[in-house]
Amino acid sequence: MESLLSSHSTKSDESHGNLIEDGLVQLRCHFTWGLFVEALEMPDLENRVWEEIHFLDTKYNVGIHNLLAYVKHLKGQNEEALESLKEAEDLIQREHTDQADVRSLVTRGNFAWVYFHMGRLAEAQTYLDKVENTCKKLANPSRYRIECPEMDCEEGWALMKCGRKNYERAKACFEKALEVDPGNPEFSTGYAITVYRLDSFHISAERNTAISLQPLERAVRLNPEDAYIKVLLALKLQDVEQEAEGERYIAEALASKSSKVYVLRYASKFYRRKGSLNKALLLLKTALQDTPTSAFLHHQIGLCYRAQMIQIKEATNMQPRGQDREDVARLVQSAICEFQKTLKLKPTFELAYVDLAEMLAETGDHRQAEDTFQKALCMEIIDDHIRQEIHYRYGQFQEHHRKSEDKAITHYLKGLKIEKMSYARGKLLHALEKLAKRCIHRNVRVVESFSLLGLIHKLKEEVSDALLCYERALRLATDLNPMF
């Protein structure tokens, strides 16, 4: 009899668990949004979430506590996940009392999922019931799922925080929210940041195009106290050759006490690109005091050292001697050290491998540079512009350091096979054209070089020039081989 009761109890528990799971999959929360986070990305993501909680002054911090809870769960730390969710709950009660019901839906959904994974079905059911009651209160037709702009916005923030492979989906979420409430400051901020990040990847060969400029300007108007948005707008103005206007926003942001670490990060990037390298380094090292494990900061510091090295080499006509030569060697080693720190903190940072490889090449260590380039070339990269950039820079390494024009041409062509219009694509075309013309001038591989020039003109949509080059290549091939 006891055995039968035990068997019946087990089946009842399984049935109850299945019913709860049927409800859980209908929820809108971090567990159902398909957030793609690779194991290698986890430490960097957790670090960035921690930094935002402590250093980003924002009215929209509930979502970041929810994301931290999700990350803790992925690491198997469910008790810590519950603590983060309780912090999110407290924030809602303090800062969103007028919208507590809607704002609590994601947190309650996450609570239900964490309790379910812990095997605490009664608590999971309690939070499912809370979601159901809110849906009824808001006259929502679905039992556990609500469609509203606030939920779209929460999903957008979560997707954006989890890396660039999620940016397009994040953008669609914010767009959906803005369709309902176009003047909402939070929706506007989320959309502007997402489009800014996408814009950085999709920048075209014409550098004065910027799809994120207007969204950023609108976000600044709607959030005049948000210094973080101002520095992003400044960088975008710099992109479109309105640097003086951008610097005005940088000054405003630096004068503010809001989001100081983030302002310092992006202000330093602005000054590095302007060529004010000492100022950029000063800002970066100030920010580093608060966030020493920031991959972004170490990478930016490495880029500054590299830029200082290039300045010395250019000033000495690429032949530094004496103290200049010592300074170049010191800066190269400093850059190598910073890029290595970057990759230790964020091993999925593709372009940091390329930056490191180029600095290793500067030391003459071509074997280690080659190994480091190969790490980048072998990575699964979804962004076309990054793959183009890697092929361009590896081609430059082969052309100028390894003196292998064949391998350089191979990688320039591999980059050009990726048809995405980008700044890197323009560099690939220029590098291939320059190399082909040099070969013609030296009377080396002339037929192949005219064919390459024909391809370059074709890709630039210069049809008549392309035909002339192809005809020239054909005539030369016939002259060299009369049987052709």
> Is 394 among the domain residues?
no
Query: Would you place residue 16 in the very low, low, confident or very high pLDDT band (cuts 50, 70, 90)?
Result: low
Model confidence at 396: pLDDT above 70: yes
Q: What is the pLDDT of residues 205-227, one digit of tens each?
A: 445 457 899 999 999 999 999 99
Q: Are 101 and 140 in contact (CB under 8 A)?
A: no
- Residue finishing a domain among 257, 291, 318: 257
Report which residue type is found at 18.
N
pLDDT for 446 equals 94
Query: Would you place residue 138 in the very low, low, confident or very high pLDDT band (cuts 50, 70, 90)?
Result: confident
My answer on whether 134 and 155 are in the same domain is no
My answer on whether 181 and 125 are in the same domain is no
My answer on whether 138 and 180 are in the same domain is no
pLDDT for 477 equals 86
CATH of the domain at 39: 1.25.40.10
Give CA separation, 480 vs 320, 439, 447, 455, in Å.
45, 17, 9, 21
Query: Would you place residue 469 in the very low, low, confident or very high pLDDT band (cuts 50, 70, 90)?
Result: very high
Query: Would you place residue 101 in the very low, low, confident or very high pLDDT band (cuts 50, 70, 90)?
Result: confident
Q: What is the pLDDT of residues 303-332, one digit of tens each?
A: 999 999 999 999 999 999 999 999 999 999
Query: Would you place residue 19 in the very low, low, confident or very high pLDDT band (cuts 50, 70, 90)?
Result: confident
At 156, list the tokens: 């957008």
My answer on whether 132 and 87 are in the same domain is yes
My answer on whether 185 and 122 are in the same domain is no
Query: Would you place residue 233 in the very low, low, confident or very high pLDDT band (cuts 50, 70, 90)?
Result: very high
> Is 70 among the domain residues?
yes
At 167, list the tokens: 């940016």
Closest CA to 191 of 225, 232, 251: 232
Model confidence at 232: pLDDT above 60: yes
Cα–Cα dist 70/76, whole Å: 10
Query: Would you place residue 1 in the very low, low, confident or very high pLDDT band (cuts 50, 70, 90)?
Result: very low
What is the helix (H) or strand (E) element at residue 214, kind and residue range?
helix 213-222
At 4, list the tokens: 């039968």
pLDDT for 63 equals 92
Query: Would you place residue 204 in the very low, low, confident or very high pLDDT band (cuts 50, 70, 90)?
Result: very low
Cα–Cα dist 295/51, whole Å: 12
Cα–Cα dist 178/184, whole Å: 7
> Is 470 among the domain residues?
no
Cα–Cα dist 319/325, whole Å: 8
> Is 173 among the domain residues?
yes
My answer on whether 133 and 159 are in the same domain is no
Give CA separation, 343 vs 41, 74, 375, in Å.
11, 22, 12
My answer on whether 140 and 176 are in the same domain is no
Neighbours of 180 (CB within 10 A): 14
> Is 409 among the domain residues?
no
- Residue finishing a domain among 234, 257, 280: 257
Neighbours of 83 (CB within 10 A): 14
My answer on whether 26 and 94 are in the same domain is yes
pLDDT for 334 equals 98
At 369, list the tokens: 């540079």
What size, in residues, is the chain?
A: 484
Give CA separation, 320 vs 88, 275, 328, 330, 331, in Å.
57, 20, 8, 13, 13
My answer on whether 137 and 161 are in the same domain is no
My answer on whether 118 and 197 are in the same domain is no
Query: Would you place residue 14 in the very low, low, confident or very high pLDDT band (cuts 50, 70, 90)?
Result: low
> Is 247 among the domain residues?
yes
> Is 480 among the domain residues?
no
Between helix 384-400 and helix 366-377 the angle, nearest 10°, is 160
> Is 223 among the domain residues?
yes
- What domain range is 74 assigned to? 9-146
- Within 13 Å and on the Cβ side, how many CA atoms surround 90? 7
Query: Would you place residue 241 in the very low, low, confident or very high pLDDT band (cuts 50, 70, 90)?
Result: very high
My answer on whether 117 and 33 are in the same domain is yes
My answer on whether 129 and 17 are in the same domain is yes
Domain count within the chain:
2
Q: What is the pLDDT of residues 151-167, one digit of tens each?
A: 999 999 999 999 888 99
- Residue finishing a domain among 257, 284, 314: 257
pLDDT > 90: percent of the chain: 82
Model confidence at 236: pLDDT above 90: yes
Cα–Cα dist 263/291, whole Å: 13
Q: What is the DSSP letter of 171?
A: H
Cα–Cα dist 283/262, whole Å: 11
